[in-house]
Chain A
Amino acid sequence: QVHLVQSGAEVKKPGASVKVSCKAIGYIFSNFAIHWVRQAPGQSLEWMGWINVGNGNTKYSQNFQGRLTFTRDTSASTVYMDLSSLRFEDTADYYCARYPTSWYDYWGQGALVTVSS
Chain B
Amino acid sequence: QSALTQPRSVSGSPGQSVTISCTGTSSDVGAYNYVSWYQQHSGKAPKVMIYDVTERPSGVPDRFSGSKSDNTASLTISELQAEDEAEYYCCSYRGGDIVLFGGGTKLTVL
Contacts and interface: CB of A to CB of B under 8 A. Distances in A.
Contacts of A59: 97-98
B69 interface: no
Interface in B44-94: 45-48, 51-52, 57, 89, 91, 93
Interface string A22-51: 000000000000010100000011110010
Interface in A41-81: 44-47, 50, 59, 61-63
A47 B93 CA distance: 11
B34 A102 contact: yes
Interface residues of A, number: 21
A44 B1 contact: no
B3 interface: yes
Interface string A81-101: 000000000000001010000
Interface residues of B, number: 25
Contacts of A107: 45-47
A14 interface: no
Contacts of A37: 101
Given A44-B102, A47-B101, A104-B36, A62 B48 contact: no
B52 A103 contact: yes
Interface of A: 35, 37, 44-47, 50, 59, 61-63, 95, 97, 102-105, 107-110
